[in-house]
Amino acid sequence: MAKYIVFFILLIPVLSLAQESPFKPLNAGTYHVNYQSLDSQANAIVMEEYGKSRIEVIEADRGVRLIHDYHVRIKIINQEGFGKANFTLPLYKIGDSFEYIQDLNGLTYNLENGKLVTKELTKKQIFNEKYSERVQLSKFTFPDIKEGSVIELHYRLISPDLFNYRQWQFQDDIPKLHSQYIAEIPGNYTYNVTLVGPYKLTDQKSKLLKECFLFNGMRTDCSQLTYVLKDIPAFVEEDYMLAPKNYLSAIQFELVSFQDGRGGNYKYTKEWKDVDRELLTDKEFGGQLKKTDEFKDILPTLIKPEDTQLAKAKAVYNYVKNQLKWNNMYGFYSRAGVEESLKSRSGSIGDINLTLATGLLAAGIETYPVLLSTRQNGLPNSLHPVISDFNYVIALAIIDGEQYLLDASEKYLPFGELPLRAINHNGRVVYSKKSSDWLPMVNTTVSKTINAFNGQLNLDGNLTGQLNFEYAGLDALNKRNEIKKYASDEEYLEFLQERMTNMTINKMELINVDDLDKLLSVKLEITYNLFTDSIGNSKEINLNPLFVNRTTKNPFNLDERNYPVDLGSQKEESHIVIIKMPKEYSLKDKPKDVSMALPEKAARYVYQSSFTANVLSVKQNIYLNKNIYNVDEYFHLKEFFSRIIQQQKLEFSFTKNNE
């Protein structure tokens, strides 16, 4: 589990310590680096990394800004490490101002004939992209990358975000030999500082800088804090996890208070009641919820006075979901507004789901917006409101005492379910007449896949019969989206045929693709080449009846996992196989039936088979009965899947009858 060490910054004079030197020039002698002892399998490695942040008054910006200098050297070891030459720098909008970058410089070093040859990153190779209303991306790729290249990057970032100062991430997906961060904080600013992650600092220093900060005509001293971590292992991502930044070793900051030098003392750790008021009075958030008149001509076409509240809610939900197409932009504000979103029939997450909430309110449904952070955006601060932690909004409808979480951005998402991206622990419900509160973001529907085959084994070695797949929950959403990517059923059939090797699909039927309240079914009539040759002359045949969607790879392979397994929902997978065997063969041997469970029935596995009247029947069920498995359950879950994989490899043995 991650360890949390909290520091409270005060201006404390200490002995002056030697200032850390900048990187030395790279030469042919320092071009090579010894990384084997840290990670012999590394594809790239950070040789040195240096960051320094300070607070200054920027006249051009007419305000106080955070200045962050970043410098890194990375060794590209092999082709698999070439991706580390690609950079994406997010720039956030804080208030009315975006962060921006100055002095971005990049160099690629290659050793050719014993001499270092450099290639400079040019401005033409830097591209800017709008990710959302509040996030822009600066993207670039270093030139002339080869195996053994060293890349060097430096940039200065100017940010209006003094609240979070600048988080420093010690750990990444490649190992680091040396990572150092310096924070220079004026004495009139007080921050909480938290070290997150499983590793202890290699070194930590503090130093007093006299009169380093000028504000309102007064100079104040600063604390210079230095944090060093060496020989940092790579963070290994594994299936079923939230955003890595939730678990990476890092230094995090949170502004507590600020003194203006004139007697004013301002507390910056807001309370939720303050944030609630700001949101509800914001014209792009709470202001949109008042625009119920936009639905006055729409509602009579959707609902009748005698309809139940649930029927009305479903009608509005389906209308918004089918009318508005998500433009892949995130955010919890409606920049376009309800009126324009309905006209353009598209919008961001904020546009779509605030339009949904407004429509539900217009229909007389008790509804509130819910702020959340997507799985890849990270968990929001649960102690204090940090509005920049959120990047998503959904609607909470309360009908006959039941709560329904609604997201209209997915056309094939049933009423009351959330897409996986929105299932990230808790969301914050912004009530209209009471303080906001946390609410778990969960799907009550189990994600389910059923694989069923009913057919016969022929003497030519082929299985023929009906192969059916049924889906519910998130599995159904994923499958419906897969089907709808294709213009016709015929095109989807071609896709399936290409993907399913050794199988000929003779006929396909899709059932309940658009009826989201029912199980989605894909029915196939198939011929499957189970044996490459005819079995008519074989004295003995060995058969594995689980010929589709068998678990062949354990999703859990780490010796130790320091973060939870988060599935997003409970999961269930079933195989039901019925095969009529050739009358010429009798069962010789079969796998034993198996039933196993994790402690407290957190997961369960059942494997049963029988052979009666020349019909082989096999049934297998995997039940994952928790959304989240904690770190101390990881070993058991890993072993659970290992045993399932071994069981699924077992074959049934048949011998030819004596003539």
- The structural domains of the chain, ordered by start, are 3-267 (2.60.40.3140), 272-440 (3.10.620.30), 447-656 (2.60.120.1130)
pLDDT (tens digit per residue) in 603-653: 999 999 999 999 999 999 999 999 999 999 999 999 999 999 999 999 999
Is the separation of the CB atoms in 535 and 459 below 8 Å? yes
pLDDT (tens digit per residue) in 217-272: 788 899 999 999 999 999 999 999 999 989 999 998 888 888 876 767 777 767 89
pLDDT (tens digit per residue) in 313-346: 999 999 999 999 999 999 999 999 999 999 999 9
pLDDT (tens digit per residue) in 374-386: 999 999 988 788 8
What pLDDT shows up at residue 261? 67
- Give the pLDDT mean for 469-489: 98
Radius of gyration of the chain, Cα coordinates, nearest whole angstrom: 30
pLDDT (tens digit per residue) in 447-457: 999 999 999 99
Cα–Cα distance for residue pair 302/297, rounded to 1 Å: 10
- Give the pLDDT mean for 502-522: 97
- Whose CA is closest to 339, among 300, 304, 303, 298? 298
What pLDDT shows up at residue 269? 65
Query: Which of the four pLDDT bands, split at 50, 70 and 90, describes residue 67?
Result: very high
Is the separation of the CB atoms in 295 and 358 below 8 Å? yes
Burial class (CB in 10 A: 0-12, 13-18, 19+), 152: buried
Is the separation of the CB atoms in 160 and 93 below 8 Å? no
Question: Which tokens hold the place of 67?
Answer: 């200045």
Cα angle, residue 272 at apex, residues 266 and 277 outer, rounded to 5°: 90
- Give the pLDDT mean for 558-583: 95
pLDDT (tens digit per residue) in 167-226: 899 999 999 999 999 999 998 888 888 888 888 999 999 999 998 888 777 888 999 999
pTM for this one? 0.81
pLDDT (tens digit per residue) in 434-477: 999 999 999 999 999 999 999 999 999 999 999 999 999 999 99
Cα–Cα distance for residue pair 396/326, rounded to 1 Å: 19
Instruction: Please determine, for residue 10, whether its predicted confidence score (pLDDT) is greater than 70.
Output: no
Instruction: Please determine, for residue 8, whether its predicted confidence score (pLDDT) is greater than 60.
Output: no
pLDDT (tens digit per residue) in 112-149: 988 999 999 999 999 999 998 889 999 999 999 999 99
* Backbone phi, psi, residue 457, to 5°: -95, 125
pLDDT (tens digit per residue) in 343-401: 999 999 999 999 999 999 999 999 999 999 999 999 998 878 888 899 999 999 999 99
Instruction: Please determine, for residue 15, whether its predicted confidence score (pLDDT) is greater than 70.
Output: no
How high is the mean pLDDT of the chain?
A: 92
What pLDDT shows up at residue 96? 85
Sign of the CA dihedral with 331 first, then 332, 337, and 340 last: positive
495-504 exposure pattern, b = at least 16 Cβ within 10 A, e = fewer: ebeeeeeebe
Query: Which of the four pLDDT bands, split at 50, 70 and 90, describes residue 43?
Result: very high
Query: Which of the four pLDDT bands, split at 50, 70 and 90, describes residue 547?
Result: very high
Cα–Cα distance for residue pair 654/457, rounded to 1 Å: 12
Is the separation of the CB atoms in 49 and 178 below 8 Å? yes
More confident residue, 85 or 36: 85
Question: Which tokens hold the place of 653?
Answer: 């043995």
CB atoms within 10 A of CB 33: 16
Long-range CB pairs of 534-540 (<8 Å, 24+ gap) are 534/459, 534/460, 534/461, 535/457, 535/459, 535/460, 535/461, 535/582, 536/459, 536/460, 536/584, 538/656, 539/655, 539/656, 540/588, 540/653, 540/654, 540/655, 540/656
What pLDDT shows up at residue 21? 38
- Give the pLDDT mean for 581-610: 96
Instruction: Please determine, for residue 12, whether its predicted confidence score (pLDDT) is greater than 60.
Output: no
